[in-house]
Structure 1
């Protein structure tokens, strides 16, 4: 399946500022970039780096006072891997690949140690595997209200658990936290999401099951098959679309994700397994 994705973001720079962006799609695996463009206005020199472990693509630039705009467009081909959910098992810690072990630990927004007692009481009796992670998503979707403005950049999964309200990043953080508390490696994923309304950068999570990472979205707001991955990491601190050092004011942002060709069917979010690795 092919998708056209992109964003148009801007800032009013008040004083000289350094900005680090993570808005370009990950290249590799079952996500292929057919073509892309990045336009920076004014035309500024930029440093670019692709993280070896995750594939995250970072862009750093320094801007002087005035307006700054970035426009990114990409044509993406997705080849989602579907396996029978009932056949996807959890992996004992003793047999996990070593590079997944950091995703078992508590992190800034995912204090899995604080919610471990609840996670084990609520989900510990469920048969290990893909179905247990799905039940975690079911619980979050049923028990946490999706409400804009209820959280900010300091909100952790423990805060969301107490408040029972949040946005996509909070749903993802809570899912990650519960998984890690149960010994399942889990990581945060930022993405362009087809069928998301209104369009914006979206947040989901991946759990390591069987021999690969599988996508999950507790918000149930977009099709898993149509998610173009931008970045992944321990939590949102590793995948922010913009990290700013200096005084700036954000301008209106536009994000889009459109299916190309005849891709028109509506997919459910957790009915099937979806992996891109």
Structure 2
């Protein structure tokens, strides 16, 4: 399925500043970048950086003088996914996990799984099948946490979200990750472009490692699970920020969009009675 994505960022640069940008679509076996275009107006030097584990595509942009800078990215992406029967998506023992998976088992800045251990086990610990366990906790987040724009900030953690029972997509993702890790299920943050997201924006959800697959989950239920274009994964939002800024700037604006580039689309949602989990490779 082909999707057309676009993202823009605007800044007023006050002092010499270096940006680390993270708005490019990942290149993976399931996500081919057919066309893409990245521009900076006015032009300043930039370079693409390649992290070791293919979790993001960073752009390092240097702005050495005061300026109003507009950054634009657009691409056509061909995505694919596979569906695995849920009876094959069982818990993977820690002793059998690959070393690359282990970091997603530990507490992190926004996902204090150690603090929510008792909560997670009391609500979800008795469910045997790992897919059903993650689906149940995802549904619990959707049913009990209010999606409320402006209710949280860049400091809000999963522990805060449980206390306040309100948040946005980033907070829903952090809480899902935290509850999974508290149940010994590795989980990672997923940020990307999302088809049918209203209003259009960058979107966050999470992937859980079950049955030796990274299965996608989205407690917001705002977009179809097969309408996502992956930008980055990480332990939490600190690893997958759209922009990290080293200098003094004023933020001017942000936008993101994701549209169909062909008509071959049938939306996939988890509806609580699901027989398959969906994987983006």
TM-score exceeds 0.5: yes
Q: Distance in 2 between matches of 1:252 and 1:134?
A: 35
Q: Is the 8 A contact 2:55 2:234 kept in 1?
A: no
Q: Does residue 33 of the first structure (1) align with residue 33 of the second (2)?
A: yes
Q: CA deviation at 1:264?
A: 4.8
Q: Is the 8 A contact 1:19 1:60 kept in 2?
A: yes
Q: CA deviation at 1:276?
A: 1.5
Q: Is the 8 A contact 1:222 1:269 kept in 2?
A: no
Q: Distance in 1 between matches of 2:255 and 2:233?
A: 21
TM-score in terms of structure 2 length: 0.95
Q: Is the 8 A contact 1:36 1:73 kept in 2?
A: yes
Which deviates further from its counterpart, 232-241 or 53-62? 53-62
Q: Secondary structure at the match of 1:133?
A: helix
Q: Distance in 2 between matches of 1:166 and 1:186?
A: 19
Q: Distance in 1 between matches of 2:255 and 2:204?
A: 16
Which deviates further from its counterpart, 105-114 or 126-135? 126-135
Q: Distance in 1 between matches of 2:23 and 2:220?
A: 21
Q: Does residue 18 of the first structure (1) align with residue 22 of the second (2)?
A: no
Q: CA deviation at 1:10?
A: 0.9
Q: Distance in 2 between matches of 1:266 and 1:276?
A: 15
Match of 1:54 in 2: 54
Match of 2:67 in 1: 66
Q: Secondary structure at the match of 2:135?
A: helix
Match of 2:9 in 1: 9
Which runs of 5 or more structure 2 residues have no equivalent in the other structure? none
Q: Secondary structure at the match of 1:120?
A: helix
Q: CA deviation at 1:161?
A: 0.6
Which runs of 5 or more structure 1 residues have no equivalent in the other structure? none
Q: CA deviation at 1:47?
A: 2.8
Q: CA deviation at 1:127?
A: 1.5
Q: Following superposition, which runs of at least 4 residues in structure 1 exceed 6 angstroms of deviation?
A: none
Q: Secondary structure at the match of 1:174?
A: helix
Q: Distance in 2 between matches of 1:266 and 1:139?
A: 22
Q: Secondary structure at the match of 1:82?
A: strand
Q: Secondary structure at the match of 2:279?
A: coil
Q: CA deviation at 1:216?
A: 0.6
Q: CA deviation at 1:245?
A: 1.6
Deviations 1:202-255 (A, max 9, x none): 001011111221111011001110110001000000000011122211122221
Q: Distance in 2 between matches of 1:107 and 1:55?
A: 17
Q: Secondary structure at the match of 1:252?
A: strand
Q: Does residue 91 of the first structure (1) align with residue 92 of the second (2)?
A: yes
TM-score in terms of structure 1 length: 0.97
Q: Does residue 273 of the first structure (1) align with residue 277 of the second (2)?
A: yes
Q: Distance in 1 between matches of 2:77 and 2:166?
A: 33
Q: Distance in 2 between matches of 1:265 and 1:186?
A: 27
Deviations 1:10-44 (A, max 9, x none): 11112221111000011012111111110111111
